[in-house]
Amino acid sequence: MAEPERIVELLRVVSGIATDKIRTIKQVTASTRILALNALVESNRAGEAGRGFAVVANEVKSISGRINKVTHELESELSANIDELSCLGEAMIMHVRGNRLADLSLNMIEIIDRNLYERSCDVRWWATDSAVVDCLAQHSEAAGRYANKRLGVILDSYTVYLDLWVANAEGIVVANGRPERYPRAIGTDVGASQWFRDAMATRDGSDFAVADVSTNEALDNAMVATYSTAIREGGEVNGRAIGALGIFFDWEPQAKAVVDGVRLTEDERTRTRCMLIDSRGRIIAASDGRGLLREIVRLDCSDTMGNYRDDNGAIVGYALTPGYETYQGLGWYGVIVQESVS
pLDDT (tens digit per residue) in 136-154: 999 888 999 999 999 999 9
Would you give the DSSP letter of residue 213? Answer: P
* Mean pLDDT for the stretch of residues 105-112: 95
Does residue 1 surpass a pLDDT of 60?
A: no
What is the C-alpha separation between 111 and 327, in angstroms, rounded? 13
Is 29 within 8 Å of 61 (Cβ atoms)? no
pLDDT at 81 (0 to 100): 67
Does residue 238 surpass a pLDDT of 90?
A: yes
**Which of the four pLDDT bands, split at 50, 70 and 90, describes residue 8?**
low
pLDDT at 4 (0 to 100): 60
pLDDT at 165 (0 to 100): 98
**Which of the four pLDDT bands, split at 50, 70 and 90, describes residue 326?**
confident
The pLDDT tens digits of the residues spanning 73-88 come to 777 767 766 676 666 6
CATH topology of domain 3-94: Helix Hairpins (1.10.287)
* Mean pLDDT for the stretch of residues 256-279: 94
Q: Does domain 127-254 have CATH number 3.30.450.20?
A: yes
Where are the CATH 1.10.287.950 domain residues in the chain?
3-94
State the number of CA atoms in the 13 A half-sphere of 154 facing the CB.
25
Check the CA dihedral 64-65-70-76 and report its sign: positive
Helix pair 130-138, 141-157: axis angle to 10 deg: 160
* Mean pLDDT for the stretch of residues 266-290: 95
The pLDDT tens digits of the residues spanning 39-53 come to 777 777 776 666 666
The pLDDT tens digits of the residues spanning 177-195 come to 999 999 999 999 999 999 9
Where are the CATH 3.30.450.20 domain residues in the chain?
127-254
What is the C-alpha separation between 285 and 83, in angstroms, rounded? 40
Average pLDDT, the chain: 87
pLDDT at 44 (0 to 100): 76
pLDDT at 89 (0 to 100): 65
Does residue 297 surpass a pLDDT of 60?
A: yes
Which residue type occupies 171? G
State what percent of residues in the chain have pLDDT above 70.
Answer: 86
